[in-house]
Structure formats: C-alpha cells, structure tokens
Chain A
Amino acid sequence: MELEKFMYDNRIVRQFAYATVLWGIVGMLVGLLIAFQIYIPALNFGFEFTTFGRLRPLHTNAVIFAFVGNGIFTGIYYSLQRLLKARMYSDVLSRFHFWGWQIIIVCAAVTLVSGITSGKEYAELEWPIDILIAGIWVVFGWNMMATIIKRRVKHLYVAIWFYIATFVTVAVLHIVNSMELPWSLLKSYPVYAGVQDALVQWWYGHNAVAFFLTTPYLGLMYYFVPKAANRPIYSYKLSIVHFWALIFLYIWAGPHHLLYSSLPDWAQSLGTVFSIMLIAPSWGGMINGLLTLRGAWDRVRENPVLKFMVVAITAYGMSTFEGPMLSLKSVNAISHFTDWTIGHVHIGAMGWNGFLTFGMLYYLIPKLFNTKLYSTKLANIHFWVGTLGILFYAIPMYWAGFTEASMWKQFTPQGTLLYPNFLEIVTQILPMYYIRSFGGVLFFAGIFIMLYNLVKTVKAGTFVPDEAAEAPALPKAQVKEGWHRMLEGSPIRFMIFAIIAILIGGLVEIVPTYLIKSNIPTLASVKPYTPLELQGRDIYIKEGCYNCHSQMIRPFRSETERYGEYSKAGEFVYDHPFQWGSKRTGPDLAREGVKTGRNYKPNSWHYKHFMNPQQLNAQSIMPPYPWLAVKEIDTASTGARINAMTTLGVPYPQGYAALANKDLSSQASLIAYGLKGDGIEVGRNKQVIALIAYIQRLGTDITLQNK
C-alpha cells in the first residue's frame, strides 16, 4: 500500500509545554505564599489583592486549569498525532486553542485577585470567562475529533478513549455547574440555591478531579509509560474494563463531599457506595500502568522519566484508595473540614499530576529538540527533591487532620468540650503548617532544577517544528468485528457512548432535585436576606471567606456543642450560591449571629476583628481587612442584585428593587449608630457594615425555640 507523507505539528506541543512550566511556577509560587500566609498573617500584606481568601482560589485554579490544563494539552497534542498517524486537523484551531486558553488563565488570575468570583470552589470564574471556557473547549474538542476522523490508523488506542471522555464530560460538567444569572458585566448568581447548589457543585467538583485531573492523565499514562519504558501496555482487556467502569462510576461519587450535611441521606449513600466501587477501576488503571514495567524495573533505576512516572502512578493508587476510604461516613466524620483533605488532594496534585507532568516533559523536550536530556543527574536530583517535598507536605497535613478532628471532638468527663476555644486547636497545628511549607519549598525548588535542565536541553538541541512521518491511508473496507472494536472504529459513536455512560449517573443524581416542589420553604421562619445582608453576603463571597470558614454544622454532639443547632436543608433556600465551605481553618459560622449561641459576638467585636484580628486574639491567624472600613457599599447595584434574586425565585415583594436601598440605609444606620456607642466611628455606607449585618444574620432564621 502506498505510504502517505505528512508532518507532525511540534510547535503546538512546544507552546503548551512551555506554558505548562510557566503556569506551574506561578501556581506553585502562589501555593507557597498561602502556605506561609496561613501561619504568618503579615504576609497577607494588609492588601486586598493578596489576602489568603483571594489567593487560595488563584492557587487552585492556576494549578488545576493552568498547570495541569496545559500539561494535558501538551500530552494530547503530542500523543494524539502519533497514535493517529495524522497531523492535527487544523493548525489554526490549535493556535486558537492555545492562545484562547492562555487568555482565560490571565483573565482568571486578574478577576480572582480582584475578588470577582462565583464563590464555588474550583468553579470560581465568573460568567464571561465561563462562556469563554466553553467556547475554547469546543475548539479543542472540534480539532481533536476532526483529527480522529481524518486518521490513518483504523482503531483508537486506549489513551484516546480517555481524551474523548475528558472532552465530553468536562463540557457537560462545566455547562451544568455554570448555569448562572448575570446581574452585572462581571457578576452573577448561580441559578441553583442551597442544597441543590451544593449537590450540583460537588457533582462538578468531584468530577473536575475525575475528568480533568484523572482521565486525561490516565490517557497520558497509557501513552507515555509504554513509550518511556519501550514496552506495550500490560493488558488491553483490562484497559477496556477499567475505562468503562471508571467513567461510568466516577460521575456518581460527588455527594461523598457532602456527608453528614443537609443533603438527603439517599444521595449521601449513593455517593458512598459508588465511591467504594471506584477503587476497582481506579486500581485497574494503576495495575495496568505499573505492570507495564514488569521485567523492566532495572530501567526504572536508571531512567528518571520512569522514576517520575512510577511515583506518579503509585500516588494515583494511594489517592484512589484513600478517596473511597474518606467517603465512608465514619471516616469522613473525622476527616471532613480538616487538613486531612488538603493532604489527600496534594498527593494527587503533586504526586499524580505533578510527577506525571515532569516525567512527560523530561521525555518530550529532548524529543522535540532532537537531542538528549542535558543532565540525567539533575533530573534525578529533581526526582528526590520533589519526592521529599511531597512527603514533607502530606505527612504533616495528615497529622494536622487527626489532631484537629480529635481536639474538635474531645469532651471532658463532665460532658463539656475539652477544647472549647477553636484557636487553641489552630495553635496546636501550627508546627504542622511550618513543616508543610518546607515541603512546598522543596517541591517548588525542584521545578527550578527542571527548568534549568530543560533550558539547557533546548539550547543544546535543534527544534523540529514539523516532524516528518509516513503511513498508509486508512482503508475504507470494514470487516465485521466486536462492538468495542466497532466503537473504536467510529469516534463519533464512541463519543456518544461515553456521553451516555456519564449522563446516566449525572441524571440519577441531578434529576430528583428538579422533581421537588419549588419555592416553598419548609421552614416558614426562613426569610430572604435584607438588601444590606445581601450586599454583605456578596462581600463575604468576594473576600473568599468560604476558603477558611464553613457554614454547615453537622449533626454531631461535638459540633452542636461548639456551634449550636445543626444545619437544616431548609435554611439555605435563598443561598445563591451556597457557602458551606470544605475546610475549617477558622471556626464554622453557620450560627454566628445567634444571640443566645456560644459564639455570638457584638458588632463592635466583629468590627475590631475585621480591622485587626491579632488585636483581639494575639494568636489568631486571620488576615486583617482594613479596606472594608474604607470602601463603600456598591448601592448602585442593590436593585440589580434584588432583581436577579427575584428572578431566581427569592420572594422579595414586587417592586422591592426600587425600595431596597432605603431599607439598606436604615439597617446600616442602626449598625453604625451602635458602633458609635462603642466608640467606633465608621460611616454607614462602608462595606464592613454590610459584612457585619450578614454575619449577624447567620443562623438566626431558626432557633431552638421556633424550629
């Protein structure tokens, strides 16, 4: 058969590879800064753009979507062309995808530090950027699917199945979770509220881990591990079972992030059962990856690329065993809201994603520049520094998690909390934070060792922008064969099957939330936020308070003793978005405003605390928010906010938007007047007044008397 000559596009691979390193450095630098901020509040610099609450979303988004995102595209653009024996369908689409993605990252960075956020973890970007992401994602998918269609290889290798599943699922997740109603050029409210918002958000959040951090990287593993080891993958049959089981099961597991919350029990149980079952397909992938190296372990000893990949796959195996364990209710009761979760996700992010990316870059860059890696020794040093970094990061976080949980839950023989002061517990875990930041420094230093090594490699070689290749054209005739081979022969059919597999789980979880009666609160005492409280709530979201404070009291005695009555689903019906949080670096705030509660503080305390937390508690690690007493409430937008909420079903009286600022002013005057009585002079139009109003509202809808 006649061979067709063609060129692989290496330029796009190089662009994404460089972007991966650049954003890796940025994302990890911000991570390092917040790791220090958490025990040195002065490092927040008293500056709104550099506070923990804004930088933590920047860190997570930068690492997930910028570092790992560009890593995914680097690997896909390299492997896809070679597995299909075809150049990418369109160089223009490739470039459009690259620059579009980088523009999204820059927009994300600028908006997040400016406090323009949706307040939903890992989905913080606001509606204009959400639309941009959807558009660029379609460009990526279009280019990929069109390349698959014009391929010269009959069947699709397992790596490509994972790429297709990634494309379709991320599209579905992003669109469903980003349903929001804009009320200004840059701000919106999610259409979902409270429990429903939480369910959709964690269905998204968990599957962002699954289909952004896991499936594309499994695809990369299936390509780069055999290439680096020069051995075929261990088992094709195992890859079929593990692929379909994995994408089918993953989508159900989201509710395990909401155990013991106000989510209905059936949904919690569903999440737990499917999470446990996930061990099997996850370990199927790990086994397939590791056993590919059977008989070749001597090469692992010598080859840093394989070393990085082996540790990456091992970290994947650890995380995917730990994840299901954390979804057991009894374990989750201990781990949730603690630093254990932070340790868990960093084994995945640093070990699985980080190390697989490093291994891939050490493999790719010399190939793209037609040379050898500048220094194997330096790559080995990076490997050990990085591995130590992971250990110094994760072990203290597990230790901190156990410490927090045990101190939160400990009672005296008389039945009172042994550590009623939350800050006492925070102080206990500070040494763990010190060690964690040392781990971060090591990991970060490793990146620079890699950067030096790669720059030297690039300088020593000659870039091959268009790599010549040849292959026979794809024959038209199809012989009768099994259904999976037929699917592999038809990428569109394969894509549709993948969509069906992920939609079943999504539909079973999400549809019930639409079947219920809407707009009828079961708790008659739950009222919409006043205009001032709504403004305050939006400031709470803007400052990223949810990054350190939860608003979800679980039904444990240790929590009801500490915080008050446990949270009910009906309390959150007007919360667009929900603000339950996922970590308690500071105490839960769900009942902060209950005057008879253990945690109630007067307005003057809150004011002083926002201005200078260390003045009230020398050991506090909360950053100061002095600008809240300087900046004014954006009253021009009150009407738009109320109108948007009304559209979303919040029962404000008709025409209330026009009157809202009057109510806002009177409530603000009362608070400002009260503060004046305590010797605090602050204008009633300042943001701190709105935030205090919101904080004092928290948890007051129901009390023990009227529940």
Chain B
Amino acid sequence: MKIISSLFEEIAGIQTFPIISMFIFLTFFAGILVYAARLDNGLSEQMRHLPLEGDENQINDND
C-alpha cells in the first residue's frame, strides 16, 4: 500500500481554480440575497420571535 506522500508541482489549469471558486460563491451569494429580499415579512417576523415563544414576559419590540 502506498499512501500519498507528495509534492506540489505544476497542475494543469490550476489558475482556473480561484476563478471557478469565486464564480461558485458569487452565484450562491446572489441567490441567497435575492431569496432574502423576496422573503415574506410576516414569516420573517414569526421566525424572529421563535426563541421568545412561551416566555411569560411581555415582548417589547416597539421602540
């Protein structure tokens, strides 16, 4: 059995790796932004209050 023990050498097309990386992230990020922007405000409000549900104290979120 030989387990890899190796060196970095010239890897064909390695310069495209960062470009691909950036493209994947920006696409993903743009998708998330669009989704968040279009999200229903009612749902958003409901989610925000999740940890406080069941608390006896009055939630004061008007100020």
Contact = CB atoms under 8 A, between A and B. Distances in A.
A649 B5 CA distance: 6
Contact of B44 (A236, A295, A520, A650): A236
Contact of A230 (B4, B14, B15, B59): B59
A648 B3 contact: yes
Interface in B20-45: 20-22, 24-25, 28-29, 32-33, 35-40, 43-45
Q: In the complex, which range does the number of interface residues on chain B fall in?
A: 35 or more
Contacts of B55: 227, 230
Contacts of A570: 7
Contact of A237 (B6, B20, B24, B39): B39
Given A240-B39, A241-B32, A516-B11, A226 B4 contact: no
Contacts of A131: none
Interface string B39-60: 1100111011111101101011
A273 B18 contact: yes
Contacts of A145: none
Given A230-B52, A232-B52, A157 B7 contact: no
A493 to B, nearest CB: 16
Contacts of A517: 6-7, 9
A181 B11 CA distance: 27
B51 A227 contact: yes
B3 A647 contact: yes
A519 B23 CA distance: 33
B4 A649 contact: yes
A264 interface: yes
Contact of A83 (B24, B50, B59): B50
Nearest to A193: B5
A95 to B, nearest CB: 26
B47 A157 contact: yes
B35 A484 contact: yes
A505 B28 CA distance: 12
Q: In the complex, which range does the number of interface residues on chain A fall in?
A: 35 or more
A521 B7 contact: yes
B35 A192 contact: no
B44 A266 contact: no
Given A157-B50, A227-B51, A231-B61, A573 B5 contact: yes
A153 interface: yes
Given A157-B47, A504-B24, A569 B32 contact: no
A274 B49 CA distance: 33
A237 B52 contact: no
Interface in A294-308: 295
Contacts of B33: 241
Interface stretch (A244-252, A403-411, A539-547): A244-252
Interface stretch (A15-23, A321-329, A507-515, A590-598): A507-515
Nearest to B28: A248
Contacts of B9: 516-517, 522
A277 B28 CA distance: 14
A232 B49 contact: yes
A104 interface: no
A513 B3 contact: no
B1 A196 contact: no
B5 A522 contact: no
A237 B11 contact: no
A514 B40 CA distance: 45
Given A196-B6, A522-B9, A244 B61 contact: no
Instruction: Kindly list the 8 A-B residue pairs having the minimum CB-CB distance in the complex, ordered from nearest.
Output: A649-B5, A295-B63, A518-B6, A232-B48, A157-B50, A237-B36, A236-B44, A236-B47
5 contacts: A191-B3, A195-B7, A273-B22, A518-B6, A520-B7
Given A236-B39, A516-B8, 9 more contacts: A153-B50, A191-B4, A195-B8, A230-B52, A230-B55, A233-B48, A236-B47, A241-B29, A517-B7
